[in-house]
Amino acid sequence: MKASRFRIFAASTALLVVLGIAAALAQGMHHHGGSMGGEFGFGDHMLGYFTDVLDLTQAQQDQAKAIIEKEKPVIQPLIKQLMQAHKDMSSLEDSGTFDEAKVRALAAQNTQAMTELFVQKARIHSELIQILTPDQKTKLQQLRAKHEARMKNHAHGQAADTNSN
């Protein structure tokens, strides 16, 4: 159960990072006129970072904002559902009484919401990639590769820490 829960947590975290990037592409920092990042759980600092690093034009920022705004009505309820499921699972775990039926029902709901969120993420990502220049696409791939390397190193570090205990 612990390994399965970790996989769900890791997948959720990875998805939220990607959604943060999508929100960043859509909005930029507050000084760029953006304000949507908080709704995805990311602050202006992260939004501005990705906007600045990819050097999006105002037209690209406007296009990205339109893409995100179009998908937001589908994404927001899914994120709220996942957050509620996390709270519900914590409450179940903290109750001290294991109720397998309730845990399985929550896990099934979570799986369904995660599936829909992954589909939405892929749709948004595909649309956002289309507005980038070849140089921006290369830069984004480099950022992703660096992030994946850090995540891999972090995961290996945790495995080494676990094995040394």
Are 64 and 47 in contact by the 8 Å Cβ rule? The answer is no
Count of C-beta atoms within a 10 Å radius of residue 150: 10
pTM value is 0.61
pLDDT tens, 43-60?
Answer: 344 446 667 889 888 898
Examine residue 8 and state whether it is found in any structural domain, yes or no. Answer: no
Looking from the CA of 2 toward its CB, the CA atoms found within 13 Å total 0
Count the domains in the chain. Answer: 1
Q: What is the mean pLDDT of the chain?
A: 75
Q: Report phi then psi at 24, rounded to 5.
A: -65, -45
Where does the pLDDT of residue 8 fall: very low under 50, low under 70, confident under 90, or very high at 90 and above?
low
Examine residue 83 and state whether it is found in any structural domain, yes or no. Answer: yes
Alpha-carbon span 128 to 155, nearest angstrom: 29
At 93, list the tokens.
């775990």
pLDDT tens, 85-103?
Answer: 999 999 999 998 989 999 9
Count of C-beta atoms within a 10 Å radius of residue 131: 18
Q: Cβ neighbours of residue 9 under 8 Å, at least 6 residues apart?
A: none
Examine residue 51 and state whether it is found in any structural domain, yes or no. Answer: yes
Examine residue 31 and state whether it is found in any structural domain, yes or no. Answer: no
Where does the pLDDT of residue 25 fall: very low under 50, low under 70, confident under 90, or very high at 90 and above?
very low
Are 109 and 92 in contact by the 8 Å Cβ rule? The answer is no
- For the cut 50, the answer to whether the pLDDT of residue 155 exceeds it is yes
- For the cut 60, the answer to whether the pLDDT of residue 161 exceeds it is no
User: Residue 111: which domain range?
Assistant: 38-155
Examine residue 99 and state whether it is found in any structural domain, yes or no. Answer: yes
Alpha-carbon span 52 to 67, nearest angstrom: 19
CATH code for the domain in which residue 106 is found: 1.20.120
